Amino acid sequence: MRTRTTTAAVAALLLATLTACGTEPEPSAKAAASAPATLSAEDKAAAREAAGLPPEPNATTRAAFLDALTAIDPRIIKPGKDDQAVSRGLNQCSSIKSSPDDREKLSQQALDRFTVNTRLPDIATPETGGKIVDVVRKHLCPDF
């Protein structure tokens, strides 16, 4: 009996809360909230740099990066997930930039970031992680 009373009270409270939230925002606030944000290429580049990320690779660099990962082990890149692999590589660049000399840490982060530890335990070694770091550094962030 007590459970029903508590459940009913919670349901009534939620209903009252949702009803109170039904007011429309000011027209100007509503328009501003629905307007698509457009960033210039310069703004995007500045945001990437501030986040410690290199610029998006061109098609040639991207293909070389993906080929180099495949050469380590073709299973590192999930089927149909080339964009994901590039994104993870660019994120690894941020780690490289923040700890360029900590090879052990970078290797472990690469194994985690590319989900080698969970998907491919047979190759989840510091050597494989180091190879991934080398490929990322060579192709996506050589200046880090």
Closest CA to 115 of 65, 77, 66, 144: 77
Q: DSSP string of 18-83?
A: HHHT-PPPPHHHHHHHHSPP---HHHHHHHHHHTT-PPPP-HHHHHHHHHHHHHH-TTSSPTT-HH
| Separation CA 141–CA 84 (nearest Å) | 17
**What pLDDT, in 10s, does the model give residues 74-92?**
999 999 999 999 999 999 9
Burial 82-106 (b: 16+ CB within 10 A, else e): eeebbebbbbbbbbbeeeeeeeeeb
**What pLDDT, in 10s, does the model give residues 30-64?**
544 554 568 887 887 788 778 778 999 999 999 99
pTM of the model: 0.69
**What pLDDT, in 10s, does the model give residues 116-137?**
999 999 999 999 999 999 999 9
Give the Å distances, CA to CA, from 107 to 13, 56, 64. 51, 22, 20
